[in-house]
Chain A
Amino acid sequence: MKTRIKEFRSRYNLTQEKLAEMVGVRRETIIFLEQGKYNPSLRLAYSVARTLHTTVEELFIFDD
């Protein structure tokens, strides 16, 4: 799984720490999400997408 979190984060000038605080998770969770090393729940994926003013489909890219 690939994500565009970093791209959207820099678009809004957000640090990993700030985004983590806004979503209500730890910074490590954002780091692992950005690297596609953690599969989030639908709730968390939606929460991150909403914070970055985008959709889940835009943010997460699933490659088969």
Chain B
Amino acid sequence: MTNVMIDTGNYIAAKAAVMAKPDVVAAYPITPQTTLVEGIANYHDSGEFKGDYICVESEHSAMAACIGASSTGVRTFTGTSSHGLLLMHEMLHWAALARLPVIMCNINRVIGPGWNIWADENDSISQRDTGWIQFYCSSNQEIFDTVIQAFKLGEHQDVSLPVMISYNAFILSHTSMPVYIPEQKDIDEFLPKRVPTWNLDVDNPITFGNIILPSEYEKVRLEMQKSQENAKKLIPKISKEWKKKFGRFHGDLIEYYKCDDVDYVLLSMGAIGAESKVAIDNLQKAGVKIGLARVRTFRPFPEEEILELSKKADLIVIDRNISVGLGGALFNEIKGKLYGKSDANVHGFIAGLGGKDVVFTDIEIMCKKAIKGKAKDHQVWYGLEEV
């Protein structure tokens, strides 16, 4: 029996987190994440969430508490957004270098000043070098399914890294959609209890996080890199198992949408990724040979998949972020990975910063401009620069 729950992205994420049975949740509220942690608090009050809920005084403390709990070998979860994520920055590195699979939802929100609570991916993109695995979701169902799968991935012996599940502020966090909720026993079967790769234990005393010499530290970094590579292989395995058990699939590192026999492939993430499907439908109806590759994981970066796409089509990239002084992160990372391996043109757009709405008609306009060669090998600020 499967139940359908109609609710917002945050309440769906809360439901998923509770069904994954974390032992500890430590969180601090911030718009637009607030209802996520309120949701978990409600489940704690009703008894559905049986773990410990730690109310902390800041996001830095929230992540520190999760690290502390996780290092005893138990399952941990938290959620944050924007400035909260930035306040965690030091602890994000800490969790990843300690190889602790803390699972966290981040609701992509603008960074201030000026004060703005709408969707923008600069918060999580600016955490890309922390060692966390990063997923970007484009529907509430994907949020639910990805949260459960993230525990399995992060806690896997070959990965042992924290996982961040990002979704856009309000467009998903506060929008209700119907979501299939599996039975608890089926979730339990899919996601058994965590087996830690190391843990603090009074019967087997160890010291953690003390001095490490340069040659040893370098090996730690190499192992982290290898674990991210391992995640590339595990993500498809886990999503396949999920599909077999629950019948749903949102893609592996990338979700391909109508990508067969095309001259152009659009690459986008998050909410723009969902909106892009409508744009692709319309463009194909109008005879344009274009498909969509929605990037689900920014770390590990789907370089092999993108390289394959570039062999058969030119790429159009939309970034809802800006690495100031360089450009959009997705565009530049794709360009870097294709260098010397592919002759495909890469067309780029910056769009939707500060929560500016990007609807399917905008995406269609961007694709048409790209096809006309207006953004060839560079990025255009959609709506701000005339092309």
Decide if A and B are genuine partners: no
Question: Chain A residues in contact with chain B, CB under 8 A?
Answer: none
Question: Chain B residues in contact with chain A, CB under 8 A?
Answer: none
